Chain A
Amino acid sequence: MAGKAMNILIVGVGGQGTLLTSRILAQVAVDLGYDVKVSEIHGMAQRGGSVVSQVRYGEKIYSPIISKGDADIILAFEKLEAARWLDYLKPEGAIIINDDRVDPLPVMSGKLKYPEDIDQRIAQMVDKTMVVDASSIAIECGNVRAANVVMVGILAAAMGFPQEEVEKAIQAMVPPKALDINLKAFKKGHNLYSNIA
């Protein structure tokens, strides 16, 4: 709301790496000299529930949380979560969705239906919608768990973050044995966006 803050909302299912993603992006913003605030979720919501991390950066940031209709970018690690948090997106904002489906309990048990065409419906409403199969790309890189870093690559390219700054942040945040896979995942994501744009 105040000034020219950039607001990034990272949404997914507990265990998909929203926390790590927000920490990487926040570190990049710090290294670029911005004031930064990040809001995270720990505790019970992490047990397979819907989770959100929020990253805000700019000249001066007050609130650590983003308001509805105020996110510049939503990074969604799962399609249903993209839909759940869509009302946080600015009218001119962009949403990047991993083409991944994780059924919540009411769907698994057959009580409710997973809205099949949900990503297409979002794309019809939001001009700047990008749906990518980040999980498959991550598997190519060596581990499906690196899907979040594929998404970081896409976002970094979209935001024009210097590639080496992001790689530096990944190096600082990711455990050494997983570093190669994550750097590969980042590059693939980065190239993917650059090739489309």
Chain B
Amino acid sequence: MKRLMIGNDAIARGAYEAGVTVATAYPGTPSTEIVSTLAQYPGVYGEWAPNEKVAMEVGAGASIGGARTLVAMKHVGVNVAADPLYTFVYTGVNGGLVIVSADDPGMHSSQNEQDNRGYGRFAKLPVIEPSDSQEALDFTRLAYEISEEYDTPVMLRITTRLAHSQTLVEEGKPKQVELKEYKKDAPKYVMLPGFARGRHVEVEKRLEGLKEYSNNTEINRIEWGKRRLGVITSGVCYQYVREVMPDISVLKLGMVNPLPDKLIREFAEGVERVVIVEELEPVIEEQVKSWGIAVEGKEHFTLLGEYSPEYLAERLGGIAQAQGYGLDKEIPPRPPLMCPGCPHRGVFHTLKRMRLKVMGDIGCYTLGALSPLDGMDACVCMGASIGMAMGMEKAQGVDPSKIVAVIGDSTFVHSGITPLIDVVYNQGTSTVVILDNSTTAMTGHQDHPATGLTINKEPAPKLDLEALVKAVGVNNVRVVDPLQLDELRSALEEELQRREPSVIIARRPCALLVKPPLNKKMVIENDLCTGCKLCIRIGCTGIYFIEDEKLAAINPTTCVSCEVCAQVCTFDAIKIVEG
């Protein structure tokens, strides 16, 4: 019986059916569900790794140890894992290894939209790309055959639209796979220069074989239709092309690295005009052009964002779309914002009030950069805040007391520890605020080493953040409640004055994980409210402004009585009513 599955769950199912016994990941939208789902299958060891580099290394060890292994991450996670990945391509595998790269064209939940098909050519590994959930399952199974036959890790590249679309899937029977025998083989697994030179020869030889495979595999297929136009495409774009141009000829690529040169030549000779449809970078186009084949591509299509059926119809002249309704009235935008009761809100409000330069990081709290909180100056990647604060201090020299780094608990464990060591070692004076909401909130509340629970919610040794920070040499460590704004502010003022590193742990569980108190509610005393809007500037859906009456008002359905607005009000107009 067929059932609906998001692409990520289908990949997990495919891995289970392929006999995977080790799965590791760091959570990241749109990849998170792959390993959280896979970890629930019988016989699979699943884990949240502290970061993607560790996940890739655990994966490499598991593969050399003989197990079929899956490693999953979002596109930018591959950058973190790139060091072990590139050289693991040289060693090759023992048990098959698949690394899933979940790219995010359109940046639904990411800081950039890099195209990780590029890793295929750069790191010299095969890349396969499914176009719906059934293919996600089938291609995952196939990837393990390719991995073991060609002795290479395989990248399964997906995009948000595949990861989070549900399509029908026919499940298969799980394969019984024995753990492969491990044999000591230093020239294969120890990448000293002398051995690595030998392995590079193998990598190039293997790529020649993979090119032949790409020309013959049925996941690269020509669907002949009318010959006036032929489209080469892959992934979810294949579905869009078929939606708007059901009659044309299509070369559907399931393997996007290495490309099937002979098949592409055959296709190009069979149609009058070839157009390549690929989101983001012209990865296929540039290669095909370099072979002297006349194709069209990015002269018709943007390098930015996601494509859609209507976009392809507009650019290529497919089935005309109906004219929809338009509303001339301006519709106010609805940006995402911190939840009511979020422990991060008061922190950013305070940082802004103190006019500090805030080096931010990746998580829900990045929303603290948006109006009206406006509490962040820079945010680049996971773990960057602390190093950037250090750099800014060294650049500006004289007045480091205005610079803070702000980083979440999961992000700190991911990659905030080494920059903190840099601050201590090179005698910076940074004040680092660890926003400890005791979960990986943004991606859907996954556990991590400092929560004391495993991926399957079993007890685990809990990383002690205070002890860790002290151990790397930070002498000034304190824990504050981020909902007590006075306490938070005086902690910041004291620590910023110090001429040595300090860490403030602002600890309070994510508001979505605690039940709001039933015995109290917030009310506004209208005769005390001056309409100054200070409370509105905390950007909470629990409080709003009635323009006609020039008064603030509480929204009782969203307010969770965190009391931050009451602390912000300078006229004592917001009261807590018990009972």
Min distance, Cβ A115 to any Cβ of chain B, angstroms: 5
Whether the pair B336, A115 counts as a contact (CB closer than 8 A) is no
How many whole Å from A100's CB to the nearest CB in chain B? 10
* Residue of B with least CB distance to A14: B336
Task: Look across to chain B and name the residue whose beta carbon is closest to the beta carbon of A37.
Answer: B167
Q: Would you call A68 and B332 a contact (CB within 8 A)? A: no
- Give the chain A neighbours of B165 by CB distance below 8 A: 37-40, 64
Measured in the bound complex, the distance between the Cα atoms of B444 and A49 in whole Å is 16
> Which chain A residues in 91-116 approach chain B with CB under 8 Å?
91, 102-110, 112-115
B258 at the interface (CB under 8 A from A): no
By beta carbon, the residue of chain B nearest A35 is B168
Q: Which of A35, A41, A42, A47 contacts B364 (CB 8 A)?
A: A47
Report A158 CB to chain B, min CB distance, Å: 19
Query: Within the assembled complex, what's the spacing in Å between the Cα atoms of A2 and B165?
Result: 19
Q: Chain A residues with Cβ under 8 A from B339's Cβ?
A: 47-48
User: Which of B2, B323, B327 is within 8 Å of A86, CB to CB?
Assistant: B327
Q: Which of A13, A40, A64, A90 contacts B322 (CB 8 A)?
A: A90
Residues A48 and B161 in contact, CB atoms below 8 Å apart: no
* Given known A-B contacts A43-B30, A45-B336, A126 and B325 have beta carbons under 8 A apart: yes
- Smallest CB–CB gap between A17 and chain B, Å? 14
State whether A2 touches B246 (Cβ < 8 A). Answer: yes
Q: Which residues of A contact B372 (CB under 8 A)?
A: 105, 109
Contact A49 B166 (CB under 8 A): no
B323 to chain A: closest residue by CB: A69
Q: For the complex, is B485 an interface residue (Cβ under 8 Å from A)?
A: no
Within 8 A of A (CB), among B240-258: 240, 242-244, 246
Cα A118 to Cα B329 in complex, Å, equals 9
Q: Is B213 an interface residue (CB 8 A)?
A: no
Cβ contact within 8 Å between B309 and A87: no
On chain B, the residues within 8 Å of A39 by CB distance are 161, 164-165
Q: How many residues of A contact B (CB 8 A)?
A: 62
Closest to A67 in B: B310
Contact B4 A42 (CB under 8 A): no
Question: Are the C-beta atoms of B239 and A121 separated by less than 8 Å?
Answer: no
Q: Which residues of chain B are near A113, meaning CB under 8 Å?
A: 332, 547
| Residue in B239, B367, B547, B557 whose CB lies within 8 Å of A62 | B239
Contacts of A83 in B (CB 8 A): 327, 329, 331
The answer to whether A88 has its CB under 8 Å from any CB of chain B is: yes
Complex Cα spacing A62 to B250, Å: 14
Q: Which of B3, B166, B242, B246 contacts A40 (CB 8 A)?
A: B166
Task: Determine whether B517 belongs to the interface, using a CB cutoff of 8 Å to chain A.
Answer: no
- Looking at B203-211, B387-395, B500-508, B531-539, the stretch in contact with chain A turns out to be B531-539
Query: Please, which residues of chain B bring their CB within 8 A of the CB of A109?
Result: 372, 533, 536-537, 539, 545
Q: Does A27 contact B (CB under 8 A)?
A: yes
Are A30 and B3 neighbours in the complex by a CB distance under 8 Å? yes
Q: Is A157 positioned at the interface, with any CB of B under 8 Å from its CB?
A: no
| Any B CB within 8 A of the CB of A125 | yes
- With A1-B319, A26-B4 known as contacts, the answer to whether A43 contacts B442 (CB < 8 A) is yes
Report the bound CA distance from A47 to B544 in whole Å.
Answer: 18
Q: Which residues in B have their C-beta under 8 angstroms from that of A126?
A: 325
| A147 → B minimal CB distance (Å) | 11
How far is B334's CA from A106's CA once the two chains are assembled, in angstroms? 8
Nearest CB in chain B: distance from A19 CB, A: 10
C-alpha spacing A140/B567, complex, angstroms? 35
The answer to whether the Cβ of A171 comes within 8 Å of any Cβ in the partner chain is no
Q: How far is the CB of A73 from chain B (nearest CB, A)?
A: 14
Q: Which residues of chain A are within 8 angstroms of B2 by Cβ–Cβ distance?
A: 30
Min CB gap A96→B, angstroms: 15
Residues of B within 8 A of A84 (CB): 331, 334
Nearest-neighbour CB distance to chain B for A145, whole angstroms, equals 10
Q: B336 contacts A48, CB within 8 Å? A: yes
In the complex the two chains form, what is the Cα distance from A85 to B275 in whole Å? Answer: 31
In this complex, what residue of B is CB-closest to A3?
B246
- Say if the beta carbon of B321 comes within 8 Å of chain A: yes
- A103 in contact with B325 (CB, 8 Å): no
- Say whether B461 faces chain A, with CB atoms less than 8 Å apart: no
- Chain B, residue nearest A104 (CB): B334
- Residues in chain B near residue A125, CB distance under 8 A: 325, 327
Q: In the complex, what's the smallest C-beta–C-beta distance from A126 to chain B, in angstroms?
A: 7
Question: Could you list 21 A-B pairs, sorted by A, with CB under 8 Å?
Answer: A14-B336, A30-B3, A35-B168, A36-B167, A42-B444, A43-B109, A43-B443, A44-B109, A45-B336, A48-B338, A68-B310, A70-B321, A83-B327, A84-B331, A89-B324, A91-B324, A105-B371, A108-B543, A118-B329, A121-B327, A122-B327
5 residue pairs, one from A and one from B, having the closest CB atoms: A43-B109, A69-B324, A49-B336, A43-B29, A104-B334
* 16 more CB-based (< 8 A) A-B contacts, given A43-B442, A70-B321, A115-B332: A1-B318, A37-B167, A43-B109, A48-B338, A48-B339, A49-B337, A63-B308, A64-B167, A64-B236, A64-B239, A67-B309, A91-B325, A105-B372, A108-B539, A108-B544, A113-B332
